[in-house]
Structure 1
Amino acid sequence: MAEALPDAEAVLDAIATTRAIRRYTDDPIPEGDLARILFAATRGPSGSNRQGFRFVVLRDGPAATRAKAVLGEAFRRGWSSKRTGDGYDEGTGVRDDSPKARTARAMQHFVDHFEATPVVVLACQQHKRGHITDGASIYPACQNLLLAARALGYGGVMTMWHGFVEDELREILGIPDDVDLMATIPLGRPQGAHGPVRRRPLGELVHDDRWGGEAPWAVDPPGTRHTGAGPRRAGDR
């Protein structure tokens, strides 16, 4: 029988407090810490343990500098479209103190300063098949990477806006055609701090025995704070 880890509470706390970090200091990530973060990523599971994932790390080399510039333009384009399409400057977004406005400011800072991000990791997947299961062999590694960064005092966020400039990135970085670019993960020392993330109540997200089956045992820990985003609640219109 598997035994609980001696520091199980610390592990569970890290999972519950790993926020999406988009604002970074100028501090570099030492290579020793970067190696530990990537080691944790490579411990992620993959189908048949093939380990088809690969990570291209962009720091301050000549190819990395060019790739970051291309990514910066793509991220600004992506955020501009999302800001308009999702109405971030409408409704509660006009109030400076609203969560919507705070999110918009953080996102704008993120894209405006993208090129200054200390480290950008491109998560790649070999054996291109274009199948929905491809992500199952790399996204657990991406989550390991973010948790390891959190453990060492860094932060990051998984993004997909590289899709706007994938062809350019392949040319700059020499990424083969049979390799998928599955995620872009900026990393750095947070300007702010990690803390409890807000999600929907556990009971709304867990079904017991069948779809729609109530799970009275699925109770959030005391003090959990919730968000209004996510799937519709029963009775929502």
Structure 2
Amino acid sequence: MNIHEALYTTRMMRRLRPDPIPLESQARILDAAVRAPNGGNTQRWHFVAVDDPALIRKFAQLFRKARDVEYHKFANGSGPMAAPAPGADPAAHADTMRRMKVSGDYLADHFEELPLLIFVFAIDDLGGANIYPAIWSLLLAAHAEGVGGVMTMVLRNVEDRVDELLGVPVAQGWKMSAMLALGYPRGTWGVAANRRPVQEVSSRNSWDGPFGVDVPQPLWPPQREAIPALSAAG
């Protein structure tokens, strides 16, 4: 798999098989994650891998409870992504949220079957500047191993209980950034088709300045007919 294939086809996978992930694969996935760039190479991160079925069952109960909290906030219009982004189509946003909830329902209903959870912790992370590159590297490396996954922050609604179950030394400043559910996907990899094109979400030299190039379709995989279509705009 070349880098463009990895970048274009890695996506969040919530429908995962229960097959265990070999320790060798887990090691390669996390070894790639810790190579990610981070401020001053201070490596202020910690990853907790959970594959104990009894512990996963406890997190399943917590996940469903935390998800109820999240969707209660969403229903009240106070949750993240409750409103569409400025300029986005409200109907398309509502459809995206509906599809995300359906796949999230599957994850919640089958949480006990997950073979591997990875909890990601950081300290003094400046809004995620150090940890999110590592998380993305982790997901890319997982894809290279044939493993899918999804990043979720839902359990931050009950993070005190998460800290307790994992024995996190919170007094030192460690805070959960996210949880990753990993497993071999039931679905297939593919280029995300529901993205607004580059020229609609990018500008040049000022907020309202035209980007200058139209990208009418994904530029990977390369298609001969796509080259003439990539033209100067404006």
TM (normalized to structure 2)?
Answer: 0.76
Paired residues of 2:116 and 2:183 also in contact (CA < 8 A): yes
Give the letter for the 2:11 counterpart: R
Q: Which moved more, 1:189-198 or 1:70-79?
A: 70-79
Aligned residues: 205
**1:81 Cα offset (Å):** 5.5
Within the alignment, does 1:110 sit opposite 2:88 as a pair? no
Distance 1:203 1:60 in 2: 46
Which residue of 207, 214, 217 maps to 1:211? 207
Distance 2:167 2:109 in 1: 26
Within the alignment, does 1:143 sit opposite 2:162 as a pair? no
Which residue of 118, 123, 136 maps to 1:121? 118
Partner deviation per Cα, 1:185-218 (whole Å, 9 max, x = no partner): 1111101111111311001122112221112235
Match of 1:230 in 2: none
**1:99 Cα offset (Å):** 6.5
Which residue of 2, 10, 20 maps to 1:18? 10
Q: Percent identity?
A: 35
Within the alignment, does 1:40 sit opposite 2:35 as a pair? no
Give the letter for the 1:135 counterpart: G
Give the letter for the 2:191 counterpart: P
**1:103 Cα offset (Å):** 3.8
User: Residue 13 of structure 2: SS of its match in structure 1?
Assistant: coil
Paired residues of 2:114 and 2:181 also in contact (CA < 8 A): yes
Q: Which moved more, 1:179-188 or 1:71-80?
A: 71-80
TM (normalized to structure 1)?
Answer: 0.76
Consecutive unaligned residues in structure 2, runs of 5 or more = 84-89, 221-234
Paired residues of 2:16 and 2:183 also in contact (CA < 8 A): yes
Consecutive unaligned residues in structure 1, runs of 5 or more = 1-6, 225-237
